[in-house]
Amino acid sequence: MTPTTGSLYLKPTKVSEGSVTGFICMTGESVECTMAISFTREAMLGIASKMLGEEITELDDEITNLAGEITNMVTGGAKKELWQEGFNFDMTQPEFHLDDWFEPDHIANQQVIVIPFESAEGSFTLEVCMRDTRKKAELTYSA
């Protein structure tokens, strides 16, 4: 699967855009981050069918587990990239939801950036929300 990336945008509502959503929180010494990956029904069924080598037609517990594995892969990759930039995170256990109206519990009062993807299997989005957790005094530069 080789998805194409659409244009980034700020999330206009609290509701995720897919039927299957994985959500995880990452906290570190200087930053807090939440991430959600949300798949349309068609995308999740298509991805699951390819990964499992059989046609999958229903969203069930097996698909929820597979969504969890994908969430772990994505957030693990993000954690590695951020670690290479000097950020160290602890991650919570991911949550998984089969719900067209799921509202990920992103960081309060912070904007959420949405990265849309399209693939032959269907569309999915990655939502990212970050907050600098350093004390204001640490952010002040004195010359």
| Number of C-beta neighbours around residue 44 at 10 A | 26
- Judge whether residue 65 has pLDDT over 90: no
DSSP readout, 58-73? S--HHHHHHHHHHHHH
| Number of C-beta neighbours around residue 133 at 10 A | 14
Which residue, among 62, 61, 65, 67, has the nearest Cα to 40 in the 3D structure? 67
| Average pLDDT rounded to a whole number, residues 118-133 | 92
> 66: Cβ–Cβ under 8 A, 6 or more apart, which residues?
44, 47, 48, 51, 52
- Judge whether residue 82 has pLDDT over 80: no
